[in-house]
Amino acid sequence: MEYQVGVIAGDGIGPEIVREARKVLDRIGETYGHKFHYEEILMGGASIDATGVPLTDEAIARAQSKDAVLMGSIGGDASTSPWYKLPPDKRPEAGLLKLRKSLKLFANLRPAYLYGELREACPLRDDIIGDGFDMMIMRELTGGLYFGKRVTEERGGLMTAEDTLVYNEEEIRRIAKRGFDIARKRRKKVTSVDKANVLDSSRLWRKVVEEVARDYPDVTLEHMLVDNCAMQIVKDPKQFDVILTENMFGDILSDEASMVTGSIGMLSSASLNETKFGLYEPSGGSAPDIAGKGIANPIATILSAAMMLRYSFDLDAEADAVEAAVRRVLEEGCRTIDIMPRDEGKKAAVTQVGTAEMGDLIAGRIGK
């Protein structure tokens, strides 16, 4: 089979980690008889430098013509980069928001899984970790505060900023259905996270989620306030299966979940629309402070490519092979710097590798 893949390398460490994901995809192609055709697409700071805007209409059209898009990371250091002296709608992140909206990517999947080999990198105590945890955060991606009306203006002599949080019932219903569908393939539990004790949008969220739940009698539904959920992720992460939540809450909770896995460099991500099309990216940022040093962890991007194989191309065996290769390399004791053990004694039992070597090792374990 042949697949057309748009590639947004992005900024900072983006080009480095995407390069390793492509290396692994090419190895999958060689092993299983597929061909991946790549086309570079500019977005973020790289697009600002080249075109003056974070995302052009041409770039959107090129992305829409592909079977899926693989992305690195975008943005830079907000305190020093000239990109952040531009108006908000001209900054790198505005390109990502525009792309999600243009491609109708409403469902964001962020798995947070603790590999047994990375227990030492997890900041939680052993009695909290137990046998490990495996959760999927389902984040609504095209509504809420990030897409609501916003204004900054002088009112009564005071500069005042206003952001509007809006959700309609159909936006909530479609992400809820996707969340329950995913739960049905996992451990059949959905934790819907909101702030229904304060927000009208959350009260509507809760009402619609309960309506959807009636069509899934085999799936357990529980509600949890977002502040409690943030606490429970570090107190007892193994209680969660699928966490279903709105845009901003999901943004925050998924980053928290990534850190209890040991490193944000381990957290993959898929953003899907109502077809098989998806945008696949690591959950971490562009890390401009380590860009070009060859030490970034490419595993999250490689696992995002595995999600692309699974969700957009229906290549489950190939996705399994990538995930197995990652596990095997970790079992063999190979680590990038962010997942090295903290204990000096345990460091002697593992080998620190760089970005490219980690990609080589994972690609080399596929088909063997």
193-216: pLDDT as tens digits: 999 999 999 999 999 999 999 999
Which residues, including other chains, have CB under 8 Å from residue 58's CB and lie 6 or more apart? Answer: none
Please confirm, yes or no, whether 251 is among the known catalytic residues.
yes
pLDDT tens track for 25-69: 999 999 999 999 999 999 999 999 999 999 999 999 999 999 999
Q: Is 200 exposed, middle or buried (0-12, 13-18, 19+ CB in 10 A)?
A: exposed
Q: Clarify whether 49 is annotated catalytic.
A: no
pLDDT at 345: 67
Residue 314 known to be catalytic? no
Burial class (CB in 10 A: 0-12, 13-18, 19+), 93: middle
pLDDT above 70 for 19: yes
Q: What is the pLDDT of residues 123-157, one digit of tens each?
A: 888 899 988 899 999 999 989 998 899 999 999 99
Beta bridge partners of 134: 113
Whether 276 has a pLDDT exceeding 70, the answer reads: yes
227 catalytic? Reply is yes
* Bridging pattern class, strands 351-352 and 334-335: parallel
Tokens 């009260």 belong to 203
Architecture label for domain 123-243+255-260:
3-Layer(aba) Sandwich (3.40)
Higher pLDDT, 105 or 258: 105
CA distance 179 to 212: 10
- Computed over every residue of the chain, the mean pLDDT equals 94
Query: Closest Cα to residue 132, out of 261, 232, 304?
Result: 261
Residue 366 DSSP SS3: coil
Is 343 a residue whose pLDDT tops 90?
no
Q: Which residues pair with 163 in a beta bridge?
A: 150
Q: Which of 189, 195, 238, 347 is catalytic?
A: 195
Q: Same fold for the domain at 1-113+261-368 and the one at 123-243+255-260?
A: yes
- For range 254-276, the mean pLDDT: 86
| pLDDT band at 280; cut points 50, 70, 90 | very high
Catalytic residue among 57, 77, 200, 227: 227
Residue 328: per-residue pLDDT = 95
The domain segmentation of the chain, as residue ranges, is 1-113+261-368, 123-243+255-260
**Rounded Cα–Cα distance for residues 241 and 214 (Å):** 19
Q: Which of 3, 66, 67, 146 is catalytic?
A: 146
Distance CA 304, CA 43 (A): 18
Contacts of 265 (CB under 8 A, 6+ apart): 282, 284, 296, 297, 298, 299, 300, 336, 338, 339
Checking if the pLDDT of 341 tops 90, the result is no
Q: Which residue has the tokens 């505005």?
A: 94
Active-site choice (26, 134, 255, 360): 255
* Residue 289 annotated among the catalytic residues of the structure: no
**H helices within the chain, ranges in order?**
14-32, 45-51, 57-64, 92-102, 126-129, 169-184, 200-213, 226-235, 247-260, 299-311, 316-331, 344-347, 355-365
Cβ-contact 282, 252 below 8 angstroms: no
Please list the residues that pair with 225 across neighbouring strands. Answer: 194
Bridge partners for 140 per DSSP = 107
Higher pLDDT, 47 or 100: 47
Q: Which of 67, 194, 241, 251 is an active site residue? A: 251
Check whether 339 has a pLDDT greater than 70: yes
Whole-prediction pTM: 0.86
pLDDT, one tens digit per residue, over 222-243 is 999 999 999 999 999 999 999 9
The CATH homologous superfamily to which domain 1-113+261-368 belongs is Isopropylmalate Dehydrogenase (3.40.718.10)
